[in-house]
């Protein structure tokens, strides 16, 4: 790969093992690590607003990204629209995103347990009792933040609009 910008984006997409190693380094460097997760199938302004709000809670932002197989199980056979690799590249290309880790499970619990972020962020369509990994993060001295839901911006609404055009 000759393009250094492309290489920088690609370097933000790591395996769980490599992510755990980098997380340890960030902890040693006293960097406050924020984690959030999702499908991010068709990246839109609502995603960017939510992710910038998440990033504002710390020094580093890790995104757990549902792999294609888990998206199909959660959203149906018509999804994802965009492949896991392309979704990872889109997210990693955002300046405020520090790390993207794909996960094959329906929830990011194993990822959260392995990374133990300082802050776990989800949108207001969840509460602390229903957020996967909240108990583990809190038990490790971290905190859970619920961000306002961005109204009117969703992948489902975009897909519906495209189908009706």
Question: In this structure, is the dihedral angle defined by the CA atoms of residues 47, 48, 51 and 57, taken in order, positive or negative?
Answer: negative
> How far is the C-alpha of 93 from the C-alpha of 5, rounded, in Å?
9
Reported as a pLDDT band with limits 50, 70 and 90, residue 132 is: very high
Of 57, 37, 41, 56, which Cα lies nearest the Cα of 123? 37
Whole-number pLDDT of residue 24: 97
- When pLDDT is averaged across residues 108-120 and rounded to a whole number, the result is 98
pLDDT digits (tens, 9 = 90+) for 13-43: 999 999 999 999 999 999 999 999 999 998 8
Domains and CATH numbers, the chain: 32-164 (3.40.50.620)
Q: What is the DSSP string of 55-105?
A: HTTSSEEEEEEE-HHHHHHHH-TT--SS-HHHHHHHHHTSTT--EEEEE-S
Q: Assess whether pLDDT exceeds 90 at residue 129.
A: no
Strands 143-147 and 60-66: unpaired
Whole-number pLDDT of residue 1: 60
Whole-number pLDDT of residue 123: 83
- When pLDDT is averaged across residues 44-72 and rounded to a whole number, the result is 95
């Amino acid at each position: 790969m000759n393009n250094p910008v492309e290489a920088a984006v690609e370097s933000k997409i790591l395996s769980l093992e490599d992510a755990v190693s980098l997380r340890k380094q960030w902890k040693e460097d006293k960097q406050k690590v924020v984690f959030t997760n999702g499908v991010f199938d068709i990246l839109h302004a609502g995603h960017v607003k939510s992710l910038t709000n998440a990033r504002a809670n710390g020094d580093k932002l890790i995104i757990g990204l549902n792999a294609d197989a888990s998206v199909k199980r959660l959203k149906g056979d018509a999804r994802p629209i965009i492949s896991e690799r392309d979704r990872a590249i889109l997210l990693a290309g955002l300046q405020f995103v520090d790390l993207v880790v794909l996960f094959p499970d329906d929830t990011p619990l194993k990822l959260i347990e392995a990374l133990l972020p300082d802050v776990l962020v989800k949108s207001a369509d969840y509460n602390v009792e229903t957020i996967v990994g909240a108990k583990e993060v809190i038990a490790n001295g971290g905190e859970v933040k619920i961000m306002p839901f961005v109204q009117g911006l969703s992948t489902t609404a975009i897909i519906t609009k495209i189908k009706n055009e």
